[in-house]
């Protein structure tokens, strides 16, 4: 009976195909990022873009270097980073809340970010900091405040997924009403600024925002990777996971903090880009299954793919005035989500 | 060398769910926990497994096993995740898994799958298995923990007759080296496989003895509100048949 088996069907073969899927997704992302660099109002051909990339930011052709390295590159990288962060956060949220409808925004984080940004856009002139620092900073801090509220409830009333969702919905409505109040108070020109921020746009991306979000990812990824097996175990249900020695509630709270940090970083610079965090985890699960060793990278890459693709599409539709990427992702995300749901129903 | 409980209590708010002043069980073997619904069987098992807090002392061979070597199988086990059986079993080693699945991990998964006769299901998806198949997979998952103490809440509740016997025989074989504590509803099966029975009523210890001493009308009738007959099968194991206490008494109970 003690048969030593080197190959267990259902473990090895699956691992290889999943690795292949992750690599294929990475290639797709790379191709889309190149496409994003090539498209834009200035209409640079691919050969020029390659030259510009080779010459670096201090290249001889100043016009090319400026467009490529200071306008397009930050936007492309920001799209990939924001998409990656929201995809990873989306999968973690769906796992800890055991809910396929969950996304990084389920617990009211987006509404909080919007409130923070609106607050500074409205009263920012009275602040000692510049608007371009003040707005993302306020969005970041107000997202963390929302997370802290949910965390407090989870701490005192237990971190069951029902409790987290309830607390999150309360926080969502709180910040939404506060945000509406600010919009009501704002003058028409300011209101326009607030609404434009809420659309979610990559035009706000700068090298600073890329660096901040990249740093947040570098900080949180090791901590996220430590939870990989715990997250997979949680897919067996709370009771089974707890019986395998996992402190389910403590883990939920740890993941909540990580999601809050990453989501805050992602939305504070670009505004609330919806749907990426909802759709990417579904695509990832459909492609690589429940094993979070592959699911988390795949959700991240798929998030980046969706957002970069949306950015390319936005530029192609209206080359002159770029449509905010938040609008495109929502429009493109709905058919994708429906597609995933329909495919799931068939299997 | 034994499992000892002293002043072992579990409270939910002001309500006392379980109160066991003292209990002594052998350090190996198969122990059946029996009692009517709501008596506190699951509470006892959860408290032993460390899932819910308790007061009092619990020791096994004067210490208590590391959590990684306790295998607890809860009663509500349904899995809706779309992972393969092999992946699911692998999670039994959750604490010891690294980024790569090692040859040792694989060998262990293969071993427990064949032990519970599940090798042919290794690639099947958990969410498409029947309740009984899932229950056996989750039992295999617990065996992957190389347990010193197994705590099983009705491990045969979803199994057909053949698999009930098979699983209990495996557990019985394992229990020569480890202690297996299992809540069981089927008193006949409990009498046949358990070395020791613990009878619980209203959160109190009613009896802890060998099956002979527990499975009789004097013990069972008041606890379960039944009138039972105990027969002997061909191996002289007890067979418990329950009658409603309102039924007319059979004229000559066959004993």
Whole-number Å distance between alpha carbons of A215 and A223: 13
Angle at the Cα of A282 (from B85 to B94), degrees rounded to 5? 40
Residue A233 at interface with chain B, using a CB cutoff of 8 Å: yes
Task: Give the chain B residue whose CA is nearest to the CA of A232.
Answer: B91
- Is the pLDDT score of B179 beyond 50? yes
**Closest approach of chain B CAs to the CA of A283, in angstroms?**
14
Joined together, the tokens standing for residue B74 give 């809860």
B21-65: per-residue pLDDT in tens?
A: 999 999 999 999 999 998 999 999 999 998 899 999 999 998 999
A60-108: per-residue pLDDT in tens?
A: 888 888 888 888 899 999 999 999 999 999 999 999 998 888 888 888 8
- Is the pLDDT score of B89 beyond 80? yes
pLDDT of B178 reads 94
Q: Do A9 and B122 touch (CB under 8 A)?
A: yes
- Mean pLDDT over B79-86 rounds to 89
- Is the pLDDT score of A13 beyond 80? no
Residue A161 at interface with chain B, using a CB cutoff of 8 Å: no
pLDDT of A65 reads 86
Please name every residue paired with A262 in a beta bridge, in sequence order, or none if there are none. Answer: none
Pairing of strands B2-12, B15-26: antiparallel
- Among A1-10, A12-21, B92-101, the range scoring the smallest mean pLDDT is A1-10
pLDDT of A1 reads 37
Whole-number Å distance between alpha carbons of A174 and B67: 42
A266-322: per-residue pLDDT in tens?
A: 988 888 887 889 889 998 988 888 899 999 999 999 999 999 999 998 888 887 777
pLDDT of A129 reads 75
Task: State whether residue B6 is helix, strand or coil.
Answer: strand
Whole-number Å distance between alpha carbons of B182 and B138: 15
- Mean pLDDT over A322-330 rounds to 83
pLDDT of B88 reads 93
pLDDT of B199 reads 94
Query: Residue B159: which of B188, B181, B139, B180 has the closest Cα?
Result: B139
| Sequence-distant (≥ 6) Cβ neighbours of residue A116 within 8 angstroms | A138, A139, A140, A141, A142, A143, A268
- Mean pLDDT over A184-192 rounds to 89
Residue A75: CB atoms within 10 Å: 26
- Is the pLDDT score of A201 beyond 90? no
Query: Residue B20: which of B191, B190, B202, B183 has the closest Cα?
Result: B202
Q: How many residues does chain B have?
A: 255
Percent of chain B whose pLDDT exceeds 70:
96
Q: How many residues does chain A have?
A: 347
> For residue A290, which residues of chain B lie inside 8 Å, CB to CB?
81-83, 87
B5-26: per-residue pLDDT in tens?
A: 999 999 988 899 999 999 999 9
B194-232: per-residue pLDDT in tens?
A: 999 999 999 999 989 998 888 888 888 888 888 888 888
Which A positions 246-275 lie with beta carbon below 8 A of chain B? 246
Residue A177 confidence class, pLDDT cut points 50, 70, 90: very high
Q: Do A310 and A325 contact (CB within 8 A), yes or no?
A: yes
Q: What is the mean pLDDT of chain B?
A: 89
Q: Where are the alpha helices (DSSP H) in B75-130?
A: 85-90, 103-115
- Is the pLDDT score of A206 beyond 50? yes
- Write out the H or E segment, with its range, that includes residue A287: helix A276-288
Q: Do B240 and B230 contact (CB within 8 A), yes or no?
A: yes
Q: Do B171 and B184 contact (CB within 8 A), yes or no?
A: no
Query: Residue A60: which of A72, A48, A71 has the closest Cα?
Result: A48
Domain residue extents for chain A:
66-346
- Is the pLDDT score of B247 beyond 60? yes
E strands of A10-166, at which residues?
none
Residue B249 confidence class, pLDDT cut points 50, 70, 90: low
- Mean pLDDT over B140-155 rounds to 92
E strands of chain B, at which residues?
2-12, 15-26, 29-34, 55-60, 70-73, 149-153, 179-183, 196-201, 204-209, 227-232, 238-243
Task: State whether residue A181 is helix, strand or coil.
Answer: helix
Task: State whether residue A215 is helix, strand or coil.
Answer: helix
pLDDT of A4 reads 42
How many beta-carbon pairs below 8 A join chains A and B?
108
Q: Do B95 and A226 contact (CB within 8 A), yes or no?
A: no
Percent of chain B whose pLDDT exceeds 90:
56
Whole-number Å distance between alpha carbons of B244 and A61: 96
pLDDT of A251 reads 92
Domain residue extents for chain B:
79-146
pLDDT of B169 reads 93
- Mean pLDDT over A325-336 rounds to 80
Q: Do A92 and A256 contact (CB within 8 A), yes or no?
A: no
Measure CA A61 to chain center. 35
- Among A12-21, A73-82, A181-190, A255-264, the range scoring the smallest mean pLDDT is A12-21
- What dihedral angle (degrees, nearest 10) is formed by the CA atoms of A148, A150, A155, A156? 120
- Write out the H or E segment, with its range, that includes residue B220: helix B217-224
Q: Is the dihedral of CA A246, A250, A256, A258 positive or negative?
A: negative
pLDDT of A95 reads 94
pLDDT of A347 reads 46
- Is the pLDDT score of B251 beyond 80? no
pLDDT of A131 reads 74
Q: Do A289 and B82 touch (CB under 8 A)?
A: yes
- Mean pLDDT over B108-120 rounds to 91
Joined together, the tokens standing for residue A316 give 């192609």
Please name every residue paired with B23 in a beta bridge, in sequence order, or none if there are none. Answer: B5
Residue A345 at interface with chain B, using a CB cutoff of 8 Å: no
**What's the N-to-C CA distance of chain A in angstroms?**
35
Query: Residue A142: which of A165, A101, A111 has the closest Cα?
Result: A111
B224-236: per-residue pLDDT in tens?
A: 888 888 888 888 8
| Sequence-distant (≥ 6) Cβ neighbours of residue A52 within 8 angstroms | A44, A59, A61, A64, A65, A67, A68, A69
Whole-number Å distance between alpha carbons of B251 and A239: 48
pLDDT of B235 reads 86
Whole-number Å distance between alpha carbons of B138 and B154: 12
- Mean pLDDT over B165-172 rounds to 92
From the candidates A91, A238, A243, which should be mutated to test the interface with B, based on the most B CB atoms within 10 A?
A243
Residue A193 confidence class, pLDDT cut points 50, 70, 90: confident
Residue A158 confidence class, pLDDT cut points 50, 70, 90: confident
Q: Is the dihedral of CA A321, A324, A325, A330 positive or negative?
A: negative
Whole-number Å distance between alpha carbons of B116 and B88: 14
Residue A227, CB half-sphere, CA atoms under 13 Å: how many? 28
- Is the pLDDT score of A7 beyond 80? no
Q: Which CATH superfamily is domain A66-346 in?
A: ABC transporter involved in vitamin B12 uptake, BtuC (1.10.3470.10)
From the candidates B94, B108, B147, B149, which should be mutated to test the interface with A, based on the most A CB atoms within 10 A?
B94
- Mean pLDDT over B77-83 rounds to 86
Which A positions 284-323 lie with beta carbon below 8 A of chain B? 285, 289-291, 293
ipTM of model: 0.84
- Mean pLDDT over A113-130 rounds to 84
């Amino acid at each position: 009976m003690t048969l030593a088996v080197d190959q267990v069907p259902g473990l090895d073969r699956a691992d290889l195909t999943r690795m292949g899927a992750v690599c294929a997704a990475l290639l797709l992302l790379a191709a889309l990022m190149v496409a994003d660099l090539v498209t834009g109002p200035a209409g640079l051909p691919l050969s020029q873009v390659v030259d510009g990339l080779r010459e670096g930011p201090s290249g001889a052709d100043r016009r090319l270097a400026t467009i490529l390295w200071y306008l397009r590159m930050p936007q492309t990288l920001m799209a990939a980073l924001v998409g990656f962060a929201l995809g990873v956060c989306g999968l973690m949220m769906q796992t800890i809340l055991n809910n396929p409808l969950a996304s990084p925004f389920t617990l009211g984080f987006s509404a909080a970010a919007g409130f923070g940004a609106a607050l500074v856009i409205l009263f920012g002139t009275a602040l000692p900091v510049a608007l371009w620092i003040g707005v993302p900073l306020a969005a970041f801090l107000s997202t963390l405040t929302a997370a802290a509220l949910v965390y407090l409830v989870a701490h005192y009333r237990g971190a069951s997924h029902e409790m987290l969702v309830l607390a999150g919905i309360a926080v969502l409505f709180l910040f939404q009403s506060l945000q509406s109040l600010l919009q009501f108070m704002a003058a028409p020109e300011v209101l326009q600024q607030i609404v434009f921020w809420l659309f979610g746009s990559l035009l706000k991306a700068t090298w600073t925002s890329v660096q901040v979000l990249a740093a947040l990812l570098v900080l949180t990824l090791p901590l996220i990777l430590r939870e990989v097996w715990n997250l997979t175990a949680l897919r067996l249900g709370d009771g089974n996971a707890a019986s395998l020695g996992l402190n389910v509630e403590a883990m939920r709270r740890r993941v909540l903090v990580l999601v809050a940090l990453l989501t805050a970083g992602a939305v504070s610079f670009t505004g609330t880009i919806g749907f990426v965090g909802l759709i990417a985890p579904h695509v990832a699960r459909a492609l690589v299954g429940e094993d979070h060793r592959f699911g988390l990278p795949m959700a991240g890459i798929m998030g980046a793919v969706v957002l970069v693709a949306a950015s390319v599409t936005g530029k192609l539709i209206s080359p002159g005035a770029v449509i905010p990427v938040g609008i495109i992702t929502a429009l493109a995300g709905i058919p994708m989500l429906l597609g995933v749901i329909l495919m799931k129903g068939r299997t | 060398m034994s499992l000892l409980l002293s002043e072992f209590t579990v409270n939910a708010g002001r309500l006392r769910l379980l109160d066991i002043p003292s209990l002594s069980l052998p350090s190996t073997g198969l122990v059946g926990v029996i009692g009517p619904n709501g008596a506190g069987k699951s509470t006892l098992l959860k408290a032993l497994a460390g899932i819910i807090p308790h007061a009092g002392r619990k020791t096994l061979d004067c210490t208590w096993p590391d959590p990684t070597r306790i295998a607890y199988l809860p009663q509500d086990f349904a899995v809706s995740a779309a992972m393969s059986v092999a992946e699911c079993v692998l999670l039994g080693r959750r604490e010891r898994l690294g980024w790569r699945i090692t040859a040792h991990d694989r060998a262990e998964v293969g071993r427990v799958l064949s032990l519970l006769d599940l090798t042919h299901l290794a690639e099947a998806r958990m969410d498409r298995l029947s309740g009984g198949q899932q229950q056996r997979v989750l039992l295999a998952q617990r065996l992957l923990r190389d347990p010193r103490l197994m705590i099983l809440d009705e491990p045969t509740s979803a199994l057909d007759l053949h698999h009930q016997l098979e699983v209990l025989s495996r557990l019985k074989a394992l229990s020569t080296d480890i202690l297996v504590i299992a809540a069981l509803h089927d008193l006949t099966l409990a009498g046949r496989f358990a070395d020791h029975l613990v009878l619980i009523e209203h959160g109190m210890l009613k009896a802890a003895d060998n099956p002979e001493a527990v499975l009789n009308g004097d013990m069972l009738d008041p606890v379960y509100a039944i009138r039972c007959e105990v027969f002997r099968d061909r191996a002289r194991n007890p067979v418990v048949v329950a009658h409603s206490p309102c039924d007319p008494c059979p004229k000559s109970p066959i004993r």
